[in-house]
Homo-oligomer: A and B are copies of this chain.
Amino acid sequence: MVGPEIERLIQLLAKLPGMGPRSARRAALHMLKRRDTVMTPLAAALTETAEKIRPCTTCGNLSTQDPCAICTDPRRDGGLLCVVEEVADLWALERAAAFGGRYHVLGGTLSALDGVGPEDLNIQSLVARVTDGQVREVILATNATVEGQTTAHYITDRLAETGCTVTRLAHGVPVGGELDYLDDGTLSAALKSRRPL
């Protein structure tokens, strides 16, 4: 009795991460009650984004331009390349505003179980960018998971012959973290990488 249009909207909303059928229904009703302030603007934003946003052919970032704003920004250091798994990781690093170089988005990690090989990721284009010669240092910022570390090792091997410096993010105690709640692996890593005060 809800009607096929609303039913379809609920089904589509329920596919979003963090949403289920129940919260999708709540969201749909919320929007139907705020047609002009929420629903129509959201529909317009979705249509516009779907039309305009494309992956940057240089780095894999999502942008309205190609190459993207980061790749074309002259204030960013083209000699520093930060390799991340996903665009979400790039966004996280940009939010931290601690990196002034450029990025390379792999689009995932190597995974024998899921059948993801090197040719499924943007690794060939990374090697090509580094071989071009402008890049001084590649910072591997893949996740600290088994897949992320495997991918990092593979890329290190692939970049060995280019002579480019390859580094990875430090492991250790998160800022604001309490030792009591940390896992053994992080604690061992933090101890091993201890630094003089």
Contacts and interface: CB of A to CB of B under 8 A. Distances in A.
Contacts of A31: 16, 46, 49-50
Contacts of A70: 1
Interface in A157-177: none
A53 B19 contact: no
Interface string A22-34: 0101111111100
Q: How many copies make up the complex?
A: 2
Given A47-B47, A88-B26, A1 B69 contact: yes
A136 interface: no
Interface of A: 1-3, 5-6, 8-9, 12-13, 15-19, 23, 25-32, 35, 38-43, 45-50, 52-53, 62-64, 69-70, 86-88, 91, 94
